[in-house]
């Protein structure tokens, strides 16, 4: 199978770098083809701007989604964007690896999402009408592919627990896992998390690699998070709210996971 | 009073640009001093890297938090970072305005947070021990200042409702409002939201300005979101979990708001 690792850390000799190298070796040893988008090494351009298409006319207003759609349609996207879209098409599974900075991904990876997720590629896909609100949340260009986060944080696991002050890690990652991965069609696997990175030693690193190795070995058999598909009957369209008889009374992120 | 607007949109003639211009005029007309960090106009560097300090020795490993702390302490931060920190110190209130891209802020604004929020300035502040886990979540360098988000989105309000498929907007914004604003000490006001931006016309724009104007007029009197302060007795330290008798049985983001 083909695995793409989208990786964001500025220091190759970091824990993140070591975990990324471990993943590449483990996956290749299992016979998979692996490609890595090392965003810092690529000096990935993080910021959406008119240079993302060769068609923008200087001095005219820049409409982000309209120009994104036109550039995708006409093949005038900048080369770095088109190359990442090709990698996504090639991949059977995509791993996004990053340190949790301010409860989200580093800016360089957010800029990968902002730029690679073109209109017509990751959003604005399919019919939008009173009866159907696009091919998204379980359908879309990336349907049939798997995605998984590998996330490191200096904080303690209890800080990210159900009653921890940072908020539960599953909820903090919902905008990414549900909003950026399930939205364009990925089946999203539970994340692989490493806490208290400041206290990492050889024994803990070895444990983390063992656990990560098992997750990589099970990449094709792990059950995805059972997010509800938008167009499979659970939601009223076009309001995109849960029907009254689906998880009655439940609200919040958890209501969109079929238990 | 002094108001800083941190603003991220690539097109001055956009709805976001018009709302930002409206805010500046309204606040100035009320006698406030206003400064704007227009991140696109400033060509803000979004990516944390070794160039953020003049002290980094090429060829040596780049440790993000350690170098951030040293650069702040020694006055060797890059000038753009130091200038934004000075603006934050100057401000009595800070408004963060951006379009919601992929359920979060545009990369350029995430890069403002990643870079300006130095170790010793926005995190790593105060004693960290078994008895006290830093001056954060209600305390810290920015305590006593107010912060408010102004967020636009193309989606419909029901999509962001309690049972909407995107997740409730308050929960989607929690990593920002609680994790990036309350964390370093801001009192966080309820956000000002504009939905369905693709259907904006003159009448709706006028309505949005009226509503925004009221929020700006009430910037100093609006009651902040009552997030629980870390060091005011609700949390066990150092686990940073809610004490058993605080909101018994409650989990998730909502448990950290004192109702």
Cα dist. B143→B125, B146, B148 in Å? Answer: 12, 8, 14
Contact B10 A240 (CB under 8 A): no
What's the gap in Å between the CA of A25 and the closest CA on chain B? Answer: 23
Banded pLDDT at A32 (limits 50, 70, 90): very high
For the stretch B93-124, pLDDT in tens is 999 999 999 999 999 999 999 999 999 999 99
pLDDT recorded at residue B129: 87
User: Does the pTM exceed 0.95?
Assistant: yes
Q: Which residue of A has its CA nearest to B198?
A: A65
**Mean pLDDT score, B193-220:** 96
Is A242 part of any domain? no
Q: How many domains does chain B have?
A: 1
Interface of A with B in 167-226 (CB under 8 A): 167-168, 171-172, 174-176, 178-180
Is B111 part of any domain? yes
Half-sphere exposure of B88 (CA within 13 A, CB side): 25
**Mean pLDDT score, A33-56:** 97
Name the residue range of residue A46's domain.
2-225
Gap between the Cα atoms of A256 and B164, Å rounded: 9
Is B35 part of any domain? yes
3-class SS shares of chain A: helix, strand, coil, % to 5? 35, 20, 45
CATH number at residue B218: 3.40.50.360
Is A146's pLDDT higher than 90?
yes
Is A248 part of any domain? no
Half-sphere exposure of A77 (CA within 13 A, CB side): 25
Token code pair at residue A202? 């050889």
Is B242 part of any domain? no
Is A237's pLDDT higher than 90?
yes
Is A8 part of any domain? yes
Is B128 part of any domain? yes
A121 φ/ψ angles, rounded to the nearest 5 degrees: -105, -55
Is A89 part of any domain? yes
């Amino acid at each position: 199978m083909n695995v793409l690792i989208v990786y964001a850390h500025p220091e190759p000799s970091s824990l993140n770098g070591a975990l990324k190298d471990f993943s590449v070796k483990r996956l290749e040893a299992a016979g998979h083809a692996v490609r890595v988008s090392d965003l810092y090494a690529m000096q990935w351009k993080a910021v959406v701007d008119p240079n993302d298409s060769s068609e923008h006319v200087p001095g005219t207003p820049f409409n982000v989604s309209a120009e994104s759609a036109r550039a995708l349609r006409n093949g005038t996207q900048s080369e770095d964007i088109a190359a990442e879209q090709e990698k996504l098409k090639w991949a059977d599974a995509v791993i996004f690896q990053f340190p949790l900075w301010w409860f989200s991904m580093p800016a360089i990876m957010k800029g990968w999402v902002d730029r690679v997720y073109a209109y017509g590629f990751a959003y604005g896909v399919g019919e939008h009408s009173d009866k159907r609100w696009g091919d998204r949340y379980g359908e879309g260009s990336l349907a049939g592919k798997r995605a998984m986060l590998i996330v490191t944080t200096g904080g303690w696991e209890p800080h990210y627990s159900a009653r921890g002050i940072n908020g539960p890690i599953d909820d903090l990652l919902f905008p990414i896992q549900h909003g950026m991965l399930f939205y364009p069609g990925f089946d999203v696997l539970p994340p692989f998390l490493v806490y208290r990175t400041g206290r990492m030693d050889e024994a803990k690193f070895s444990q983390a690699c063992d656990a990560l190795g098992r997750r990589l070995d099970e990449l094709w058999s792990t059950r995805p998070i059972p997010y509800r598909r938008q167009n499979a009957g659970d939601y009223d369209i076009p309001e995109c709210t849960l029907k009254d008889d689906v998880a009655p009374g439940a609200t919040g992120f958890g209501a969109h996971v079929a238990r």
